[in-house]
Each structure stands twice: as C-alpha cells, then as structure tokens.
DNA sequence: ACAAAAGTGTTTGATATACACCCATGT
DNA sequence: ACATGGGTGTATATCAAACACTTTTGT
C-alpha cells in the first residue's frame, strides 16, 4: 500500500511531467493453448486488476507514450501497437479518485481529476515476451479473456472494445503475424481465428483460403511430439503478407 | 480580428469551462452534384480555413461535446457523428499558439498549450442542412474535397484520415443512408460510392448488389425533369438497413 | 431521328461451402 | 487395432465481373 508521502510525491512528480486529464491504456493480446489472453497488472494498493496504462509526457507523441508506458509497466518492448478508441465518460475515473481522496486534499491529488484514456491494443507472440510487473504492481500476468477477474475503472469495457476492433480488423491488420510464434501449424492458426471470431471454421476451407493468400511459407519440418499425425509447420512470408494486407484480405468469414 | 481584451476574456472563460489540452474537430461530409464536400469555417482572424472544432467541458461526455460543438459552430443539429481517431503530435497546435503569443503572456494564453484533438466524422444530407457560421467565423461553407483551400493546423491530415476511415467503413456503417436525401436514384447512390471509393463501378452490377441487400425500397415515382429517361426513386428501408449493417455488408468492392 | 442516360438479362469465372476419404501417430 | 487429429480433393452453389440490347426523354 502506498503511504501518504509516497502518493504525495508521485502526484507532484506527475503534475510536473505529464499532461493532466489524459491517460493511455494498453490491451495486450496473446494467444496460448487455444485461448486469447490479455496482460493484466495487479496493483499493490487494491485487490483489483488493471490494464497496463500511464500518462502522456508534456511533449511526447502519443505513439511513443504508448510504447514507453507498455515498456515501463510490463517490460514489453518494440511490439505492434495500434490506437483504437478514446474513452471519455466523465465518471470513468471517479473510482480512482475515490480511492485516494482520503489521503490527499483535492488540489494536491493528481487523480482527483477527470481522465480521458486513449486505448491501444497490442498483439504479441505469447512465447516471445516475459511480462514483468513494475514497482506499483504485485504481478503482471496473462489472463484468459473468458475468465477475466474484477477489473478497475472501465477496463472491462476497454477490453471488450479492443476485442471488437480486433474482429473487424482481422482482414486488414497483420493480426495473425503478430500473435503467432515464428513457426506454427495450420490448425494452430485456425484456432486463433476461431477464437477471435468466436466461430468454428471448416478445416479444409480455412487451409485453402489461407494458402490462397500466398502469405505463408511451408517449412520442411513437422511438429513432432503430438499424439497424432504430425502437422506441417508454417511461417509468414512478410513481403507478401504486408502487400496482401494493404490491399485488404477480401471477403469476410 | 480579435482584440487583446476579447482574446483575454475568451482565454479566461475557456480555462474555467473546458478541459485543457483536449479539443474536438469534426469532419462533416456532404454529397452534392456528384462530389464529396466537407464543411469548413473561415476564421475572422486569419485567411485560413478550419474544421469546426471546440473544447470539451469539464464534466461532459465526449459524444455530447462533439454534438454541441458542431451545433454551436455550424448550426447543424442531431446528426450522425462518429469518433475515428486522436491526433496528438506535440507540434500540431504550435501554429495556433504562435498566432496569439504576441498578444498575451504565455501563462494567460489558453492556446499556448499542447492540444490533442479527437476527430469525429459526420455524414449529412446536403440539402437538409443550413450551415451557419458562428461569431468567430466569416463563413461556413461546403468545400469540394478535391479543391481544399489552405487549412490551418493539421486539419488537412484530419480530413484525409476521416476519408480513409469512410472508405474502410463503407461496408459497416450506414454511410449511404446519412449522406443521401430521403429519395434518390440508383445512379446518384452509385455516384456516392464511386466518389468515396474513388473508383468506377459497373452500373448493372452495382444495382443488382444494392438491391440484393434488401435495404432499398423502390418508390412509384421517377425523377422527372432530367434530360433523359427518368430514373426510379428509392429510399432506405431503415429496419433492414440497420440489420444488414450489424451483420456487415459482406464483400468489398 | 438521334444522343444520352436509364432499365434489364445472360454468360462466365472465381470463390465459398459442404462434404469424404486417406494418412500418420501414440496408446 | 484403433482412436484421433491432420492432410488432401471434388462437387455445388453463390456471387462478382464482364458485357449488349432495349427504353425513355429532350433537343
């Protein structure tokens, strides 16, 4: 738990360094064991979970801020980040204010203000990252989208909106590329699509269509060790992938 | 031209009423004579044109603010508005600051700050609105997208981004409905699509596909007075239209 | 009568959908 | 041997693309 002095120091520092009223929150998606997961922080102060978020420095481009914040709070660096919406209900940060209002007078309390938050979503290779909590957090963990804990502020809503965006953009953004490991099997990729779209897809048609895009390279090897026939491994052909996406992968599922 | 006193009063009022660092700008699209147009204001202070924009009141939902601002600055009321992006380059409002910095000391100057702006786009029936400039503007006029004048700040960029969004969302949002008058002909609707997509479409295939969606109602009457064969008039069937859009009008052009 | 715009229908190719059989692997 | 998941092929329906002729209207 923060002491009053710590909180006071933090507020003073924040007032100096950051723009007031504006924050950034990141929804980091990962894909593991056939499930979509998001990175959540558990704060020291509360029993609640939060999206990794932070504030915008006074002369800092928003994109940079989003990357910096994600790095600071989770250790993740150099990943695909995309702005998707601004959440600005006047009451959305009230809860945060309430929490601290006993400890500091209103005019000294950085949180005693309305905050708009700019939502970014990120897509990462689950196995390629090592989530590390920052000093304000007990833990930084992957949580299954279907088993979200109680979330602070309006963060549940932010996650849902991000997921909706993901669905719509599945045909326009390199979503598969960023979420899958370097090598993956066709059934694994299909599982990702099925999870995002929340819909079963036909195995054979999925494969034909994916291969038809010409964005996948079939590897020599197969994924050994499974209990059944060893599936082939694929990787994304970055060249063709980017080209195909700018044109838009036409047709919806 | 604003006097120093007027500017000073405005700044004091703004500081009291609005959140700092945040603005809203609206790109209002209309369709007239086969051309996409946007509403621009010509300011009294400068020889430049601006998007209708304004600030967010301290306890006001963003959506409400966007509607209020549009009403205040252009007279337009109760129209389709949709948030599409936040523009936050630290230098984007520098120009505005430079303009006023001679007149007021920096700490009294509301504009001497960084502003992020939340972009909204609006779609209106050209004939159904009566653009009216506010007290800060000489004029409020429709301008052809292909003949944009010199625009202040980063407003040219905001317009381009809005147009890009329009293109992508053509299959997901009720774009036709909001831009067309109650009754319209098939060639008129086609012209709208062609203008937004910047692409020629086949007359017959367009008609078949549009009718195939089941969102149009054919009227008895035809559009008389044209120099040639009188085209039929159509209107949108709001019920089916909404239903079709939630499912997404599948397939791209 | 003719030019220009609008209405309508048909053919063709591509793509989505549905479905069935064979193959490899661990138990 | 068999259950399970993975690989592959084919027939069918649906839709997009390309294209031509007829109708209406003002000049």
- Does the pLDDT value for residue B96 go beyond 60? yes
d(CA B179, CA A214): 38
Average pLDDT over residues A145-160: 95
The tens digit of pLDDT for each residue in B105-120 reads 888 889 889 999 999 9
Mean pLDDT across the stretch A218-229?
A: 86
Mutation to test the A interface, candidates B65, B90, B92, most A Cβ within 10 Å: B90
**A194 touches B at CB < 8 Å:** no
- Residue whose CA is minimally distant from D24 C1': B229
User: Can A4-169 and A181-247 be said to share one CATH topology?
Assistant: no
Does residue B122 contact residue B75 with C-beta atoms inside 8 Å?
Answer: no
| Average pLDDT of the segment spanning B8-28 | 95
Per-residue pLDDT tens digits for B31-42: 998 899 999 999
Nearest nucleotide from residue B186 CA, by C1' atom? C6
- Minimum Cα–Cα distance from A64: chain B residue: B89
Nucleotides of D under 7 A from a protein CB: 3-10, 15-20, 23-27
Burial class (CB in 10 A: 0-12, 13-18, 19+), A130: exposed
What pLDDT score was predicted for residue A1? Answer: 64
CATH topology of domain B183-247: Arc Repressor Mutant, subunit A (1.10.10)
Mean pLDDT of chain B: 90
Q: Is the CB of B226 under 7 A from strand C?
A: yes
Is the pLDDT at A188 greater than 90? The verdict is yes
The pLDDT of residue B227:
84
Task: Please say whether the structural domain A181-247 has been given the CATH code 1.10.357.10.
Answer: no
Quickly state the pLDDT bin for B247 (edges 50, 70, 90). Answer: low
Question: For position B94, what pLDDT does the model report?
Answer: 81
**Would you tell me which residues 164-193 of chain A have a C-beta closer than 8 angstroms to some C-beta of chain B?**
168, 172
Segment A188-200 shows an average pLDDT of 92
Is the predicted pLDDT of residue B222 greater than 80, yes or no? Answer: yes
Domain ranges of chain B: 4-169, 183-247
A29 or A225, higher pLDDT: A29
Give the residue-averaged pLDDT of A34-39.
94
B206 touches strand D (CB under 7 A): no
* pLDDT tier at B1, thresholds 50, 70, 90: low
Residues of A in contact with B62 (CB under 8 A): 86, 88, 116
Of B58, B83, B114, the CB nearest to A19: B114
pTM, 2 dp: 0.93
Query: Of residues B227 and A244, which shows the higher confidence score?
Result: B227
Model confidence pLDDT, tens digit, residues B48-79:
899 999 999 999 999 999 999 999 999 999 89
Q: Which nucleotide is nearest to A253 (CA to C1')?
A: C16
Position B85 confidence tier, pLDDT thresholds 50, 70, 90: very high
Average pLDDT over residues A139-145: 96
Residue B229 approaches strand D within 7 Å at CB: yes
Is it the case that residue B46 has pLDDT exceeding 80?
no
Alpha carbon of B71: minimum distance to chain A alpha carbons (Å):
20
Q: What is the mean pLDDT of residues B89-95?
A: 87
Which pairing describes strands B116-123 and B80-87: parallel, antiparallel, or unpaired?
antiparallel
Domain B4-169 has CATH 3.90.1150.10: no
Of A48-57, A150-159, A236-245, the least confident = A236-245
Q: What is the pLDDT averaged over residues A34-50?
A: 89
Q: Is the pLDDT of residue A192 over 80?
A: yes
Chain A hits for B252, Cβ within 8 Å: 248, 250-251
Residue A111 has pLDDT above 80, yes or no: yes
């Amino acid at each position: 738990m923060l002491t009053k002095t710590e909180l006071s120091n933090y507020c003073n520092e924040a007032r100096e360094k950051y723009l007031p009223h504006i924050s950034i929150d990141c929804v980091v998606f990962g894909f593991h064991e056939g499930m979509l997961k998001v990175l959540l922080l558990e704060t020291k102060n509360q029993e609640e979970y939060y999206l990794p978020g932070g504030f915008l420095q006074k002369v800092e481009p928003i994109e940079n801020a989003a990357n910096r914040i994600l790095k600071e709070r989770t250790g993740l660096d150099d990943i695909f980040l995309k702005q998707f919406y601004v959440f600005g209900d006047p009451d959305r940060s009230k809860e945060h204010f309430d929490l601290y209002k006993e400890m500091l007078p209103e005019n000294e309390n950085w949180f005693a203000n309305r905050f708009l938050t700019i939502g970014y979503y990120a897509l990462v290779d689950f196995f390629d990252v090592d989530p590390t909590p920052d000093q304000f957090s007990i833990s930084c963990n992957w949580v299954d989208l279907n088993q979200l804990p109680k979330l602070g502020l309006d963060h549940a809503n932010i996650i849902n909106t991000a997921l909706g965006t993901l669905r719509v953009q599945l045909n326009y953004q390199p979503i598969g590329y960023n979420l899958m490991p370097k090598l993956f099997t066709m059934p694994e990729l299909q599982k990702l699509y099925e999870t995002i779209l929340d819909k079963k897809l036909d195995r054979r048609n999925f494969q034909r269509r994916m291969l038809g895009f010409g964005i996948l390279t079939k590897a020599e090897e197969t994924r050994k060790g499974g209990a059944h026939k060893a599936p082939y491994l694929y990787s994304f052909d970055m060249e063709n992938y980017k080209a195909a996406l700018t044109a838009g992968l036409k047709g919806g599922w």
